[in-house]
Structure 1
Protein backbone atom coordinates (compact mmCIF):
# COMPACT_ATOMS: atom_id res chain seq x y z
CA UNK A 1 0.00 0.00 0.00
CA UNK A 2 1.39 3.41 -0.99
CA UNK A 3 0.25 6.65 0.65
CA UNK A 4 0.76 9.94 -1.16
CA UNK A 5 0.38 13.00 1.00
CA UNK A 6 -1.36 15.88 -0.74
CA UNK A 7 -1.54 19.41 0.63
CA UNK A 8 -3.06 19.82 4.08
CA UNK A 9 -5.46 17.02 5.05
CA UNK A 10 -5.75 15.05 1.82
CA UNK A 11 -4.31 11.57 1.28
CA UNK A 12 -4.26 9.33 -1.80
CA UNK A 13 -3.81 5.64 -0.98
CA UNK A 14 -2.96 3.14 -3.72
CA UNK A 15 -3.26 -0.61 -3.38
CA UNK A 16 -3.50 -3.43 -5.90
CA UNK A 17 -4.04 -1.05 -8.81
CA UNK A 18 -6.81 1.01 -7.17
CA UNK A 19 -6.84 4.36 -5.38
CA UNK A 20 -8.65 5.72 -2.33
CA UNK A 21 -8.91 9.48 -1.77
CA UNK A 22 -9.41 10.91 1.71
CA UNK A 23 -10.49 14.50 2.47
CA UNK A 24 -9.96 16.45 -0.77
CA UNK A 25 -10.46 19.99 0.53
CA UNK A 26 -9.92 23.64 -0.26
CA UNK A 27 -6.27 23.80 0.84
CA UNK A 28 -5.39 20.96 -1.54
CA UNK A 29 -4.35 21.70 -5.12
CA UNK A 30 -6.31 19.98 -7.92
CA UNK A 31 -5.05 16.48 -8.70
CA UNK A 32 -6.06 13.40 -10.64
CA UNK A 33 -6.02 9.71 -9.78
CA UNK A 34 -6.38 6.58 -11.84
CA UNK A 35 -8.66 3.67 -10.98
CA UNK A 36 -10.49 5.46 -8.19
CA UNK A 37 -12.18 2.97 -5.85
CA UNK A 38 -13.77 5.32 -3.29
CA UNK A 39 -13.64 8.67 -1.54
CA UNK A 40 -13.75 9.11 2.24
CA UNK A 41 -14.65 12.46 3.80
CA UNK A 42 -14.23 12.72 7.55
CA UNK A 43 -16.33 15.87 8.07
CA UNK A 44 -17.98 18.79 6.34
CA UNK A 45 -15.41 21.60 6.75
CA UNK A 46 -14.23 23.09 3.47
CA UNK A 47 -10.57 22.26 4.05
CA UNK A 48 -11.63 18.58 3.93
CA UNK A 49 -14.19 18.53 1.12
CA UNK A 50 -15.23 20.75 -1.78
CA UNK A 51 -17.66 20.14 -4.64
CA UNK A 52 -14.90 21.16 -7.08
CA UNK A 53 -12.69 18.30 -5.95
CA UNK A 54 -15.55 15.82 -5.88
CA UNK A 55 -16.78 16.76 -9.35
CA UNK A 56 -13.31 16.54 -10.86
CA UNK A 57 -12.44 13.23 -9.21
CA UNK A 58 -15.76 11.62 -10.00
CA UNK A 59 -16.08 12.94 -13.58
CA UNK A 60 -18.36 10.43 -15.33
CA UNK A 61 -17.74 7.53 -12.98
CA UNK A 62 -19.64 6.28 -9.95
CA UNK A 63 -17.69 5.17 -6.89
CA UNK A 64 -18.68 4.86 -3.23
CA UNK A 65 -18.55 8.08 -1.20
CA UNK A 66 -18.24 7.45 2.55
CA UNK A 67 -18.90 10.18 5.12
CA UNK A 68 -20.78 10.92 8.36
CA UNK A 69 -24.30 12.30 8.31
CA UNK A 70 -23.17 15.93 8.59
CA UNK A 71 -21.33 15.72 5.27
CA UNK A 72 -24.34 14.19 3.55
CA UNK A 73 -26.51 17.02 4.89
CA UNK A 74 -24.02 19.71 3.83
CA UNK A 75 -23.58 18.28 0.30
CA UNK A 76 -26.90 16.57 -0.48
CA UNK A 77 -26.41 16.34 -4.24
CA UNK A 78 -23.90 13.49 -3.89
CA UNK A 79 -24.80 9.82 -3.26
CA UNK A 80 -23.15 9.46 0.14
CA UNK A 81 -23.01 6.22 2.05
CA UNK A 82 -23.39 7.49 5.61
CA UNK A 83 -21.04 5.87 8.13
CA UNK A 84 -20.51 6.15 11.87
CA UNK A 85 -18.25 4.71 14.53
CA UNK A 86 -18.09 0.92 14.43
CA UNK A 87 -18.97 0.63 10.75
CA UNK A 88 -16.85 -1.38 8.33
CA UNK A 89 -17.05 -0.86 4.59
CA UNK A 90 -15.14 -2.25 1.62
CA UNK A 91 -14.34 -0.69 -1.74
CA UNK A 92 -12.13 -2.57 -4.17
CA UNK A 93 -9.02 -3.68 -2.25
CA UNK A 94 -9.71 -1.31 0.65
CA UNK A 95 -11.25 -2.25 3.99
CA UNK A 96 -12.37 0.83 5.92
CA UNK A 97 -13.07 0.78 9.65
CA UNK A 98 -14.66 3.94 11.03
CA UNK A 99 -14.40 5.29 14.57
CA UNK A 100 -14.89 8.45 16.57
CA UNK A 101 -18.02 10.41 15.80
CA UNK A 102 -17.42 14.06 16.66
CA UNK A 103 -15.11 16.85 15.60
CA UNK A 104 -12.80 18.17 18.32
CA UNK A 105 -14.15 21.22 20.12
CA UNK A 106 -12.98 24.47 18.53
CA UNK A 107 -14.71 26.78 21.01
CA UNK A 108 -17.73 26.45 23.29
CA UNK A 109 -19.66 28.90 21.04
CA UNK A 110 -19.12 26.83 17.89
CA UNK A 111 -21.36 23.78 17.40
CA UNK A 112 -19.61 20.41 17.36
CA UNK A 113 -20.11 18.60 14.05
CA UNK A 114 -19.87 14.98 12.91
CA UNK A 115 -16.40 13.55 12.27
CA UNK A 116 -15.21 10.02 11.68
CA UNK A 117 -11.70 8.62 11.72
CA UNK A 118 -10.81 5.85 9.29
CA UNK A 119 -8.51 2.86 9.51
CA UNK A 120 -7.46 1.70 6.04
CA UNK A 121 -6.67 -2.00 5.64
CA UNK A 122 -5.79 -2.20 9.31
CA UNK A 123 -2.56 -0.35 8.54
CA UNK A 124 -3.14 3.41 8.34
CA UNK A 125 -5.26 5.47 10.71
CA UNK A 126 -6.39 8.99 9.92
CA UNK A 127 -8.53 10.67 12.62
CA UNK A 128 -9.89 13.61 10.66
CA UNK A 129 -10.26 16.58 13.00
CA UNK A 130 -10.17 14.65 16.24
CA UNK A 131 -7.91 12.85 18.67
CA UNK A 132 -9.79 9.58 18.42
CA UNK A 133 -7.71 6.60 19.50
CA UNK A 134 -8.57 3.77 17.12
CA UNK A 135 -9.76 0.54 18.74
CA UNK A 136 -7.15 -2.23 18.52
CA UNK A 137 -7.12 -5.75 19.93
CA UNK A 138 -4.04 -7.32 21.47
CA UNK A 139 -3.83 -9.62 18.46
CA UNK A 140 -3.82 -6.67 16.06
CA UNK A 141 -0.99 -4.98 17.92
CA UNK A 142 0.05 -1.33 17.59
CA UNK A 143 -1.29 0.93 14.87
CA UNK A 144 1.22 0.59 12.01
CA UNK A 145 0.95 4.17 10.71
CA UNK A 146 -0.79 7.21 12.21
CA UNK A 147 -1.46 10.41 10.25
CA UNK A 148 -1.10 13.07 12.96
CA UNK A 149 -2.94 16.43 12.82
CA UNK A 150 -0.13 18.95 13.28
CA UNK A 151 -1.91 22.30 13.47
CA UNK A 152 -5.48 23.58 13.64
CA UNK A 153 -7.76 26.03 15.48
CA UNK A 154 -8.91 23.11 17.63
CA UNK A 155 -5.57 21.87 18.93
CA UNK A 156 -2.35 22.78 20.72
CA UNK A 157 0.91 20.92 20.38
CA UNK A 158 0.70 19.41 23.87
CA UNK A 159 -2.53 17.68 22.82
CA UNK A 160 -0.87 16.42 19.65
CA UNK A 161 1.92 14.93 21.75
CA UNK A 162 -0.57 13.34 24.14
CA UNK A 163 -2.39 11.85 21.15
CA UNK A 164 0.72 10.26 19.70
CA UNK A 165 1.55 8.93 23.16
CA UNK A 166 -1.94 7.44 23.56
CA UNK A 167 -1.88 5.67 20.18
CA UNK A 168 1.84 4.72 20.30
CA UNK A 169 2.00 3.83 16.59
CA UNK A 170 4.94 2.26 14.80
CA UNK A 171 5.21 5.20 12.38
CA UNK A 172 3.79 8.71 12.20
CA UNK A 173 3.63 11.48 9.66
CA UNK A 174 2.14 14.98 9.90
CA UNK A 175 -1.09 16.10 8.27
CA UNK A 176 -3.43 19.09 8.57
CA UNK A 177 -0.40 21.39 8.57
CA UNK A 178 -1.19 23.93 5.83
CA UNK A 179 -2.13 26.64 8.35
CA UNK A 180 1.42 26.56 9.74
CA UNK A 181 4.42 28.61 8.66
CA UNK A 182 7.63 26.75 7.83
CA UNK A 183 8.83 27.51 11.35
CA UNK A 184 5.57 26.23 12.81
CA UNK A 185 5.80 23.00 10.85
CA UNK A 186 9.39 22.48 11.98
CA UNK A 187 8.30 22.90 15.60
CA UNK A 188 5.29 20.59 15.27
CA UNK A 189 7.36 17.95 13.47
CA UNK A 190 9.99 18.03 16.20
CA UNK A 191 7.37 17.43 18.88
CA UNK A 192 5.68 14.63 16.95
CA UNK A 193 9.06 13.02 16.28
CA UNK A 194 10.03 13.25 19.95
CA UNK A 195 6.99 11.40 21.25
CA UNK A 196 6.97 8.89 18.40
CA UNK A 197 10.58 7.95 19.04
CA UNK A 198 10.08 7.83 22.81
CA UNK A 199 7.69 4.94 22.18
CA UNK A 200 10.00 3.17 19.76
CA UNK A 201 8.34 4.43 16.58
CA UNK A 202 9.60 6.19 13.46
CA UNK A 203 8.60 9.69 12.38
CA UNK A 204 8.42 10.34 8.62
CA UNK A 205 8.28 14.09 7.79
CA UNK A 206 6.11 13.86 4.68
CA UNK A 207 5.27 16.98 2.70
CA UNK A 208 2.86 17.34 -0.23
CA UNK A 209 3.85 14.98 -3.00
CA UNK A 210 5.84 12.60 -0.79
CA UNK A 211 4.94 8.94 -0.59
CA UNK A 212 5.15 6.29 2.11
CA UNK A 213 5.05 2.55 1.48
CA UNK A 214 3.18 0.49 4.07
CA UNK A 215 3.89 -3.23 3.96
Structure 2
Protein backbone atom coordinates (compact mmCIF):
# COMPACT_ATOMS: atom_id res chain seq x y z
CA UNK A 1 0.00 0.00 0.00
CA UNK A 2 1.19 3.51 -0.80
CA UNK A 3 0.10 6.78 0.82
CA UNK A 4 0.49 10.11 -0.96
CA UNK A 5 0.16 13.33 0.99
CA UNK A 6 -1.55 16.30 -0.61
CA UNK A 7 -2.06 19.82 0.70
CA UNK A 8 -3.40 20.13 4.23
CA UNK A 9 -5.38 17.06 5.33
CA UNK A 10 -5.83 15.16 2.06
CA UNK A 11 -4.38 11.68 1.70
CA UNK A 12 -4.52 9.24 -1.19
CA UNK A 13 -3.93 5.53 -0.61
CA UNK A 14 -3.28 3.07 -3.44
CA UNK A 15 -3.35 -0.68 -3.00
CA UNK A 16 -3.59 -3.49 -5.55
CA UNK A 17 -4.87 -1.20 -8.27
CA UNK A 18 -7.48 0.55 -6.13
CA UNK A 19 -7.57 4.03 -4.60
CA UNK A 20 -8.95 5.52 -1.38
CA UNK A 21 -9.08 9.28 -0.71
CA UNK A 22 -9.32 10.85 2.75
CA UNK A 23 -10.33 14.47 3.52
CA UNK A 24 -9.98 16.46 0.27
CA UNK A 25 -10.81 19.96 1.51
CA UNK A 26 -10.68 23.64 0.70
CA UNK A 27 -6.88 23.95 1.05
CA UNK A 28 -6.25 21.01 -1.29
CA UNK A 29 -5.70 21.32 -5.06
CA UNK A 30 -7.94 19.12 -7.24
CA UNK A 31 -6.93 15.47 -7.31
CA UNK A 32 -6.70 13.69 -10.67
CA UNK A 33 -6.37 10.17 -12.10
CA UNK A 34 -9.04 8.76 -9.77
CA UNK A 35 -10.70 6.28 -12.12
CA UNK A 36 -9.73 3.43 -9.75
CA UNK A 37 -11.32 5.20 -6.76
CA UNK A 38 -13.30 2.79 -4.57
CA UNK A 39 -14.03 4.92 -1.47
CA UNK A 40 -13.87 8.38 0.04
CA UNK A 41 -13.51 8.97 3.80
CA UNK A 42 -14.40 12.33 5.37
CA UNK A 43 -13.42 12.56 9.02
CA UNK A 44 -15.74 15.49 9.79
CA UNK A 45 -17.79 18.33 8.35
CA UNK A 46 -15.37 21.28 8.30
CA UNK A 47 -14.65 22.62 4.79
CA UNK A 48 -10.88 22.18 5.09
CA UNK A 49 -11.69 18.43 5.02
CA UNK A 50 -14.27 18.30 2.22
CA UNK A 51 -15.89 20.51 -0.38
CA UNK A 52 -18.70 19.92 -2.88
CA UNK A 53 -16.26 20.77 -5.67
CA UNK A 54 -13.91 17.96 -4.72
CA UNK A 55 -16.72 15.44 -4.29
CA UNK A 56 -18.31 16.39 -7.60
CA UNK A 57 -15.02 15.98 -9.47
CA UNK A 58 -14.26 12.62 -7.87
CA UNK A 59 -17.76 11.26 -8.39
CA UNK A 60 -17.68 12.40 -12.00
CA UNK A 61 -14.49 10.37 -12.52
CA UNK A 62 -15.71 7.40 -10.46
CA UNK A 63 -19.54 7.43 -10.33
CA UNK A 64 -21.14 5.65 -7.41
CA UNK A 65 -18.05 5.75 -5.19
CA UNK A 66 -19.21 5.32 -1.56
CA UNK A 67 -18.50 8.11 0.92
CA UNK A 68 -17.95 7.18 4.58
CA UNK A 69 -18.29 9.86 7.23
CA UNK A 70 -19.85 10.61 10.63
CA UNK A 71 -23.41 11.87 11.02
CA UNK A 72 -22.35 15.52 11.05
CA UNK A 73 -21.10 15.22 7.48
CA UNK A 74 -24.36 13.59 6.38
CA UNK A 75 -26.23 16.60 7.79
CA UNK A 76 -23.88 19.13 6.18
CA UNK A 77 -23.63 17.33 2.83
CA UNK A 78 -27.29 16.64 2.22
CA UNK A 79 -26.87 16.50 -1.57
CA UNK A 80 -24.63 13.42 -1.29
CA UNK A 81 -25.28 9.81 -0.29
CA UNK A 82 -23.22 9.48 2.89
CA UNK A 83 -22.63 6.13 4.58
CA UNK A 84 -22.60 7.07 8.26
CA UNK A 85 -19.84 5.51 10.35
CA UNK A 86 -19.25 5.66 14.09
CA UNK A 87 -16.37 4.81 16.41
CA UNK A 88 -16.07 1.03 16.62
CA UNK A 89 -17.33 0.43 13.09
CA UNK A 90 -15.35 -1.61 10.57
CA UNK A 91 -16.00 -1.34 6.83
CA UNK A 92 -14.41 -3.29 4.00
CA UNK A 93 -14.58 -1.77 0.54
CA UNK A 94 -12.52 -3.27 -2.25
CA UNK A 95 -8.97 -3.85 -1.03
CA UNK A 96 -9.37 -1.51 1.96
CA UNK A 97 -10.49 -2.33 5.48
CA UNK A 98 -11.40 0.77 7.49
CA UNK A 99 -11.68 0.87 11.27
CA UNK A 100 -13.06 3.99 12.92
CA UNK A 101 -12.13 5.53 16.27
CA UNK A 102 -12.73 8.61 18.38
CA UNK A 103 -16.05 10.37 17.86
CA UNK A 104 -15.38 14.00 18.78
CA UNK A 105 -13.56 16.88 17.14
CA UNK A 106 -10.93 18.47 19.37
CA UNK A 107 -12.28 21.53 21.19
CA UNK A 108 -11.45 24.84 19.51
CA UNK A 109 -13.45 26.98 21.95
CA UNK A 110 -16.45 26.45 24.21
CA UNK A 111 -18.46 28.98 22.16
CA UNK A 112 -18.32 26.77 19.05
CA UNK A 113 -20.72 23.86 18.44
CA UNK A 114 -19.80 20.21 18.96
CA UNK A 115 -18.62 18.46 15.80
CA UNK A 116 -18.49 14.71 15.11
CA UNK A 117 -15.08 13.39 14.05
CA UNK A 118 -13.78 9.91 13.33
CA UNK A 119 -10.21 8.72 13.10
CA UNK A 120 -9.59 6.01 10.52
CA UNK A 121 -7.21 3.04 10.50
CA UNK A 122 -6.63 1.71 6.98
CA UNK A 123 -5.64 -1.92 6.48
CA UNK A 124 -4.26 -2.04 10.02
CA UNK A 125 -1.33 0.08 8.78
CA UNK A 126 -2.09 3.78 8.45
CA UNK A 127 -3.91 5.74 11.14
CA UNK A 128 -5.22 9.26 10.65
CA UNK A 129 -7.13 10.84 13.57
CA UNK A 130 -8.83 13.65 11.67
CA UNK A 131 -9.12 16.70 13.92
CA UNK A 132 -8.60 14.89 17.18
CA UNK A 133 -6.11 13.20 19.45
CA UNK A 134 -8.11 9.95 19.45
CA UNK A 135 -5.73 7.08 20.21
CA UNK A 136 -6.64 3.75 18.56
CA UNK A 137 -6.49 1.67 21.72
CA UNK A 138 -5.11 -1.83 21.33
CA UNK A 139 -3.60 -1.12 17.91
CA UNK A 140 0.10 -1.20 17.05
CA UNK A 141 0.19 1.63 14.52
CA UNK A 142 2.67 1.18 11.70
CA UNK A 143 2.30 4.68 10.21
CA UNK A 144 0.67 7.72 11.79
CA UNK A 145 -0.53 10.79 9.88
CA UNK A 146 -0.09 13.32 12.69
CA UNK A 147 -1.71 16.78 12.60
CA UNK A 148 0.88 19.57 12.75
CA UNK A 149 -1.14 22.77 13.04
CA UNK A 150 -4.73 23.91 13.62
CA UNK A 151 -6.81 26.39 15.65
CA UNK A 152 -7.44 23.52 18.10
CA UNK A 153 -3.86 22.23 18.20
CA UNK A 154 -1.37 22.88 20.96
CA UNK A 155 2.02 21.42 20.08
CA UNK A 156 2.47 19.93 23.57
CA UNK A 157 -0.77 17.98 23.14
CA UNK A 158 0.29 16.89 19.66
CA UNK A 159 3.56 15.60 21.12
CA UNK A 160 1.66 13.68 23.80
CA UNK A 161 -0.57 12.19 21.09
CA UNK A 162 2.40 10.83 19.14
CA UNK A 163 3.93 9.51 22.36
CA UNK A 164 0.66 7.74 23.21
CA UNK A 165 0.28 6.16 19.76
CA UNK A 166 4.00 5.24 19.56
CA UNK A 167 3.96 4.54 15.80
CA UNK A 168 6.77 2.86 13.94
CA UNK A 169 6.71 5.79 11.54
CA UNK A 170 4.96 9.17 11.40
CA UNK A 171 4.54 12.07 9.03
CA UNK A 172 2.88 15.45 9.39
CA UNK A 173 -0.45 16.49 7.95
CA UNK A 174 -3.05 19.24 8.57
CA UNK A 175 -0.38 21.85 8.03
CA UNK A 176 -1.59 24.57 5.64
CA UNK A 177 -2.25 26.99 8.49
CA UNK A 178 1.47 27.05 9.35
CA UNK A 179 4.30 29.11 7.93
CA UNK A 180 7.36 27.26 6.66
CA UNK A 181 9.17 28.11 9.89
CA UNK A 182 6.26 26.98 12.05
CA UNK A 183 5.82 23.77 10.09
CA UNK A 184 9.50 22.90 10.45
CA UNK A 185 9.43 23.63 14.18
CA UNK A 186 6.37 21.45 14.76
CA UNK A 187 7.81 18.65 12.66
CA UNK A 188 10.93 18.67 14.82
CA UNK A 189 8.80 18.33 17.95
CA UNK A 190 6.85 15.40 16.55
CA UNK A 191 10.04 13.80 15.23
CA UNK A 192 11.34 13.79 18.79
CA UNK A 193 8.09 12.22 20.01
CA UNK A 194 8.15 9.51 17.35
CA UNK A 195 11.75 8.63 18.17
CA UNK A 196 10.95 8.12 21.88
CA UNK A 197 9.00 4.98 20.93
CA UNK A 198 11.66 3.78 18.53
CA UNK A 199 9.86 5.17 15.49
CA UNK A 200 10.90 7.48 12.69
CA UNK A 201 9.49 10.71 11.28
CA UNK A 202 9.22 11.26 7.51
CA UNK A 203 8.97 14.75 6.01
CA UNK A 204 6.36 14.44 3.26
CA UNK A 205 5.71 17.45 1.05
CA UNK A 206 2.50 17.70 -1.02
CA UNK A 207 2.74 15.08 -3.76
CA UNK A 208 5.28 12.94 -1.88
CA UNK A 209 4.44 9.27 -1.41
CA UNK A 210 5.41 6.66 1.15
CA UNK A 211 5.29 2.89 0.68
CA UNK A 212 3.83 1.19 3.76
Q: Structure 2 length normalisation: TM-score?
A: 0.97
Secondary structure at 1:152 match in 2: coil
Match of 1:136 in 2: 138
Runs of 5+ unmatched residues, structure 1: none
Match of 2:51 in 1: 50
2:208 corresponds to 1:210 = yes
Matches of 2:118 and 2:137, distance apart in 1: 13
Match of 1:127 in 2: 129
Secondary structure at 2:28 match in 1: coil
2:198 corresponds to 1:200 = yes
Secondary structure at 2:100 match in 1: strand
Structure 1 consecutive aligned stretches of length 4 or more whose deviation exceeds 2 Å: none
Match of 1:7 in 2: 7
Q: Over residues 82-118 of structure 1, what are the superposed CA-to-partner deviations in whole Å (9 max), with x where a residue is unaligned?
A: 0000000011100000011010000011112000000
Query: How many residues end up aligned between the 2 structures?
Result: 210
Matches of 2:137 and 2:83, distance apart in 1: 22
Matches of 1:39 and 1:179, distance apart in 2: 23
Matches of 2:85 and 2:27, distance apart in 1: 24
Shift of 1:34: 3.1
Is this contact kept in 2: 1:136–1:143, CA < 8 A? no
Q: Over residues 153-181 of structure 1, what are the superposed CA-to-partner deviations in whole Å (9 max), with x where a residue is unaligned?
A: 00111011000001101000000000000
1:2-151 correspondence to structure 2 within 5 Å: 2-32=2-32, 33-59=34-60, 61-136=63-138, 142-151=140-149
Runs of 5+ unmatched residues, structure 2: none
Match of 1:189 in 2: 187
Q: Structure 1 length normalisation: TM-score?
A: 0.96
Matches of 2:137 and 2:12, distance apart in 1: 23
Is this contact kept in 2: 1:7–1:29, CA < 8 A? yes
Q: CA RMSD in A?
A: 0.8
Is this contact kept in 2: 1:152–1:176, CA < 8 A? yes
